[in-house]
Amino acid sequence: KVNVNTLELLAARQLELNEIGSCNVALDQSVAFEPYERDRAMGGFIVIDRLSHATVGAGMIRFALRRSRNIHRQVVSVDKAARAALKQQKPVVVWFTGLSGSGKSTIANALEQRLLARGCHSYLLDGDNVRHGLNRDLGFTAADRVENIRRIAEVAKLMVDSGLIVLTAFISPYRAERGMTRQLLEEGEFIEVHVDTPLEVAEARDAKGLYRKARRGELKNFTGIDAPYEAPQSPELRINTVDCTADEAAERVLALLEARGILAAGG
């Protein structure tokens, strides 16, 4: 929504009476329109409640979202299968999700060391590291978190296309964005690992002091404190680091990869 005093864009899931927002609108069929600044009659619309027939909102259309009709995919001779065959492995994304301090990065790092020892070609995308470059322009509002995961999902897809085993360690708090990542990939290429460490345990660790700052109100939109975490409903693997060490957790992920035929049993 738009802060009418500062014109700042704020993340929001709904608008209250007289509030103004900026959003993407999806329709179930095509409609003819013109941008509002070019033609007010063709670029304006109202929203009507189906039950009461009352007008509940009004809007202005800026542009169509599908602006890439003149862009086509370039066919290349070397494809994912060829790249994977060269590396002698099956590409996959192992997506670690969980609260801050749950142990995602530690387990992913331990797993990558084991993959390296087996001669596998892998890459670990870590939530903190990507915010130093690729996603340095993003904050931690709901909208920025969604964009953060969207970018990572596209990068992971490119890495899978290059034949890599991709490990990602992100809080990734929303089911919809994790589901979107799964849909980007082919069947069997997305393995969701929920590092299901209880909030009180993750907060007790608090190696970076983030929970303390969030509790004092110094850190806004912190997952588990004043921002939600939507736990996976059916992950491929669920790990509670209260019951196992990071090395043991990494071995469990390895066993899953072997069971699914992604890695050869026993390395």
Confidence label for 9 from pLDDT (cuts 50, 70 and 90): confident
Question: What residues are labeled active site?
Answer: 172
The tally of domains found in the chain comes to: 2
Q: Are residues 56 and 148 in the same domain?
A: no
Question: 256 pLDDT exceeds 90?
Answer: yes
Mean pLDDT, the chain, whole residue set: 91
Share of the chain above pLDDT 70, in %: 96
What single letter denotes the amino acid at residue 183? Q
Q: Are residues 154 and 191 in the same domain?
A: yes
| pLDDT per residue as tens digits for the range 54-77 | 999 999 998 887 665 677 788 899
Question: 181 pLDDT exceeds 80?
Answer: yes
Burial of 155 (0-12, 13-18, 19+ CB in 10 A): middle
| pLDDT per residue as tens digits for the range 18-38 | 899 888 787 878 889 999 999
Q: Are residues 63 and 113 in the same domain?
A: no
Quickly list DSSP for 121-179.
-EEEEEHHHHTTTTTTT--SSHHHHHHHHHHHHHHHHHHHHTT-EEEEE-----HHHHH
Q: Are residues 218 and 174 in the same domain?
A: yes
Q: Are residues 18 and 139 in the same domain?
A: no
What does the pLDDT average to over 226-249? 94
**CB-based contacts of 81: which residues, under 8 Å, 6+ apart?**
none
pLDDT at residue number 8: 76
pLDDT at residue number 140: 84
Q: Are residues 67 and 85 in the same domain?
A: no
267 within some domain: no
Last residue of a domain, one of 17, 42, 72: 72
**Cα–Cα distance between 130 and 148 in angstroms, integer?**
9
Q: Select from 94, 126, 90 the least CA-distant residue to 111.
A: 94
Confidence label for 6 from pLDDT (cuts 50, 70 and 90): confident
Q: Are residues 68 and 89 in the same domain?
A: no
Confidence label for 85 from pLDDT (cuts 50, 70 and 90): very high
140 within some domain: yes
**Cα–Cα distance between 229 and 120 in angstroms, integer?**
32
Phi, psi at 124, each rounded to 5°: -105, 115
Range of the domain at 56: 1-72
| pLDDT per residue as tens digits for the range 88-116 | 999 999 999 999 999 999 999 999 999 99
pLDDT at residue number 5: 84
Question: 139 pLDDT exceeds 90?
Answer: no
CATH of the domain at 226: 3.40.50.300
Q: Select from 262, 234, 201, 232 the least CA-distant residue to 253.
A: 262
pLDDT at residue number 267: 62
Last residue of a domain, one of 72, 106, 132: 72
pLDDT at residue number 11: 67
53 within some domain: yes
What does the pLDDT average to over 245-251? 97
Phi, psi at 31, each rounded to 5°: -135, 150
Q: Are residues 26 and 85 in the same domain?
A: no
